[in-house]
Structure 1
Amino acid sequence: MRNAILRTLAAGALWAAMAGGAQAGLDVCNDTDVVQTVAIGFKGERDWTSEGWWNIDPGDCARVLGGDLTQRYYYYYAESVNENFQGQDYFFCASNEVFSIVGDTSCEQRGYETLSMREIDTGETAREFTLTLVDDGGKPTGGDKIAPKLEDGDNPDNTPGETITSTDTDTSGPGGPGSGEEVNEVVQDTTVVPPEDVPMSVSMEDLKTEIPQGNHGKPFETVALFQGCELEGGREFCSFHAGDWKMRVFYRGPTPERLMYALEELAINMPVLLKGDMVETKGNIAAIVVRGVEPRPGEDEESLLRAYIQGDWIDQGDGRWEMTVLGSEVYYRQDGDFSTHRFLRLAKECDGSNGQGPVLVQINADNNRRTCYRIDRAEGGVLELTDVRRGRSTTYRRIQ
Structure 2
Amino acid sequence: MKKRYYYYRANAGGTAFASGEYSFCTTSQAFTIHGDSNCAARRYETQGFRKLDTGETATRFTLTLNAAAGAPAGQPPAAPQGSAPGTFGEPYTDNVILQDCHSDGQRACSFHAGGTKFFVYDDGRTPQFVFAAMEALDPGTPLTVEGDLEAVYDRTADVVLRDAAVRPWTEHDGLLNKLQGHWYSVDDPNAQFTVLGAERDNTYDGAYAGREYLSVSGWCQDFDGSGPYLYAREEETGEDYCYVIDYVDHLELTLMFLPRGNLLQYRKLD
Q: TM-score, normalised by structure 1?
A: 0.45
Give how far 1:216 is off.
Answer: 1.7
Could you tell me which runs of 5 or more consecutive residues in structure 2 were left unpaired when the two chains were aligned.
Answer: 1-54, 60-79
Deviations, residues 99-135 of structure 1 (Å, cap 9, x unaligned): xxxxxxxxxxxxxxxxxxxxxxxxxxxxxxxxxxxxx
Alignment of 1:213-224 (within 5 A): 213-224=85-96
Check if 1:373 corresponds to 2:243: yes
Q: Which residue of 2 aligns with 1:255?
A: 126
Out of 142, 148, 159, the residue aligned to residue 271 of structure 1 is: 142
Give how far 1:348 is off.
Answer: 1.8
The residue identity in structure 1 corresponding to 2:224 is: N
Check if 1:343 corresponds to 2:210: no
Out of 165, 169, 176, the residue aligned to residue 57 of structure 2 is: 176
> How far apart, CA to CA, are the structure 2 residues paired with 1:220 and 1:399?
38
Check if 1:242 corresponds to 2:113: yes
The 4+ residue runs of structure 1 with deviation greater than 3 A are 365-368
Q: Which residue of 2 aligns with 1:123?
A: none
Check if 1:314 corresponds to 2:180: no
User: Which structure is higher in strand share?
Assistant: 2
> How far apart, CA to CA, are the structure 1 residues paired with 2:262 and 2:190?
17
Give how far 1:274 is off.
Answer: 1.1
> How far apart, CA to CA, are the structure 1 residues paired with 2:245 and 2:255?
5
Give how far 1:293 is off.
Answer: 1.6
The residue identity in structure 2 corresponding to 1:222 is: D
Out of 194, 202, 208, the residue aligned to residue 332 of structure 1 is: 202
Out of 359, 374, 389, the residue aligned to residue 259 of structure 2 is: 389
Deviations, residues 311-338 of structure 1 (Å, cap 9, x unaligned): 1101121121110111111110111121
Residues 173 and 216 in structure 2, CA contact (< 8 A), matched pair in contact too = no
Give how far 1:366 is off.
Answer: 3.7
CA radius of gyration, larger in: 1
Residues 119 and 157 in structure 2, CA contact (< 8 A), matched pair in contact too = yes
Alignment of 1:260-299 (within 5 A): 260-298=131-169
Deviations, residues 152-191 of structure 1 (Å, cap 9, x unaligned): xxxxxxxxxxxxxxxxxxxxxx93327xxxxxxxxxxxxx
Give how far 1:340 is off.
Answer: 0.4
Give how far 1:235 is off.
Answer: 4.4
Give how far 1:388 is off.
Answer: 0.8
Q: Which residue of 1 aligns with 2:102?
A: 230
**Aligned-residue RMSD, C-alpha:** 2.3
Residues 98 and 110 in structure 2, CA contact (< 8 A), matched pair in contact too = yes
User: Which structure exhibits the higher relative contact order, with contacts defined as CA atoms closer than 8 Å and separated by 6 or more residues?
Assistant: 1
Alignment of 1:1-400 (within 5 A): 175-177=56-58, 209-230=81-102, 234-298=105-169, 300-379=170-249, 381-400=251-270
> How far apart, CA to CA, are the structure 1 residues paired with 2:184 and 2:198?
18
- SS of 1:358's partner is strand
Q: 1:218 to 1:235 in 2, by over 3 A?
A: same
Could you tell me which runs of 5 or more consecutive residues in structure 1 were left unpaired when the two chains were aligned.
Answer: 1-173, 179-207
> How far apart, CA to CA, are the structure 2 residues paired with 1:229 and 1:398?
26
Residues 93 and 147 in structure 2, CA contact (< 8 A), matched pair in contact too = yes
> How far apart, CA to CA, are the structure 2 residues paired with 1:222 and 1:380?
29
- SS of 2:227's partner is coil
Give how far 1:367 is off.
Answer: 4.1
> How far apart, CA to CA, are the structure 2 residues paired with 1:353 and 1:308?
22
> How far apart, CA to CA, are the structure 1 residues paired with 2:131 and 2:250?
38
- SS of 2:224's partner is coil
Residues 363 and 369 in structure 1, CA contact (< 8 A), matched pair in contact too = yes
Give how far 1:380 is off.
Answer: 5.5
> How far apart, CA to CA, are the structure 1 residues paired with 2:257 and 2:93?
33
Percent of pairs with identical residues: 29
Q: 1:356 to 1:237 in 2, by over 3 A?
A: same
Q: TM-score, normalised by structure 2?
A: 0.65
> How far apart, CA to CA, are the structure 2 residues paired with 1:392 and 1:306?
21
